[in-house]
Structure 1
Amino acid sequence: MDSQNIISIIQNVGFPIAISIYLLVRMESKMDQLTESITELSKIIEARI
């Protein structure tokens, strides 16, 4: 396997992997916020019952 093949593989596979990692990191923070909101909503609902 020569260096051109390795560079080609990195270019073809590396970019989608980088994008996937970026999106997963962003989604994790959104999921944490959503979990906190659901917890707060549950507490409010329980307090009113």
Structure 2
Amino acid sequence: MDELIPIISQVGFPIVVSLYLLYRIETKLDMVVQSIQNLPERMKERN
């Protein structure tokens, strides 16, 4: 158990940061997908 705590403290932080960044990227990608899906309708309105 005493060996496990330093491993978690060394590896845990990068894992948390990676998960946070993946979450942020996922929300941005959702916005991009939604914009691409709305693009044909906007182009029709323009013409």
Q: TM-score range by the shorter chain?
A: 0.7 to 0.9
Question: In the alignment, what sits opposite 1:13?
Answer: 11
CA RMSD of aligned residues (A): 1.4
TM-score by length of 1: 0.75
Listed as ranges, the gaps of 5+ residues in structure 1 are none
TM-score by length of 2: 0.77
Residue 39 of structure 1, CA deviation? 1.0
Runs of 4+ in 1 over 6 A off after TM superposition: none
Listed as ranges, the gaps of 5+ residues in structure 2 are none
